[in-house]
Structure 1
Amino acid sequence: MSCPRCGGSVRGPDLMHSESRCLACGPVPPLHVPEHIGPDIVASVVERIATGGGDGVPATPIWCPWPLPPGWTLTGVGWAGDDRTGVRATVVACAGPAPLGGGPADVVFVAEEPGVGLGTRLAGLTGPDPGPQLTEALTDPGPGHPEHVATAKIRVGGHPTPLWLVNSSTDRSAYAGEARGMWLHAIAWPASAGHLLAEHVVLYDLTEWTPPELVYGAPSPYLHGRA
């Protein structure tokens, strides 16, 4: 397990601390990412997350694009949390041909409670949440203005959902928004792969339904410390 905010190692609860801790970030919900990906792995993660919220608490959604874009595969799934905190974030990774050509591309989708910090870390941002950057995006002066910031409009859980472009490391593009009362992040490598979100992207919650036709690829490097 690792820290969702910095990617460093996390120590579990001990005699001195009742929570999991990162030496750099303090108490955090530890990030768990299986080394491999396949239908059995996804089924076990879905079961863990579906029962991780406790009695009466909805499961944290696992947002996965379906249908996958042509040539794309599911390359990773994970969650942040433990028995004490429950599941507080989920992440799904996909890979395939870049929408504008020119090689492979990777996209990850993160659903998380405020303060977890996984989405902002994968985007290359500072701080645990994208709130300050979204404040700037929401004051967007509108189409035609030279400072207009384009949004991506996708369907999430059956509802049209806007995502706003936020500043990120130059090797990627990052969007952030809200779905089911949680932050929703979409981060794409390389930066031009963000054009995928301009297409007809539909996200389904794998805790509600896991398509048996999902195709799996090599494990995503972005969920194992490369980001």
Structure 2
Amino acid sequence: MGQRYQQRKSKRANQILNVAITIVAVLIIFLGSSLAFSYFNDSSKDTVVDEEQTGIGESGDGETIEEGNEEGSSDGNDSESNEDATNEDEEGTEDQDEGTEEDSANEDEEGTEDGEMVVPTEQTNPNPNDFSSAGQNWSEMSEAVHLGAGLDEASTTIIRLENGGSTTSARGILLDRNSSMYYDVRIQWEDNVGWRVESVEESATQPSY
């Protein structure tokens, strides 16, 4: 009787021990699996984070390079725009200068054609029929005939300066000592204006009086 009891007790103890061992083994496996799962999960997260950071860094570098290229392109475009603007300004200035010179030449030609060669009078009491060589009227007539001939007084000789057929007209004959050419210049008086050149004739022989 006592022996059977001991056997049963020993058998039960073995069963409890086996169950405990089984439970401990299951717990160990469960804990090991949990730790392994946590480890691999953390590793995958770290890998994803590293890839994202790497992608961001590459994208940032790319953007930086693009921005540098854009800035360089912008600087290049600005330089080209400034050069184009400078060239346009220079061309515009040249065109304006040429236009001004052409306008001046045209104005001079039109003034000559329209009889704009005039010597304004400075006479207080004008007397266009006064041919005294010491008078102001003579000085203005001399200036007018030289203006009409396009000569200066230093290189010419006044052959004759006389009445032109009326009290308000005069005629001057000049000799250009450099070319030996004669100039027959007719001028007309205009009240409140002065002496205006009417006509100019050039000849190799002295005109008749």
TM-score, structure 1 as length reference = 0.21
Return the structure number with greater helix share. Answer: 2
**Rg (Cα) greater in structure:** 2
Return the structure number with greater strand share. Answer: 1
Higher relative contact order (CA 8 A, sep 6+): 1
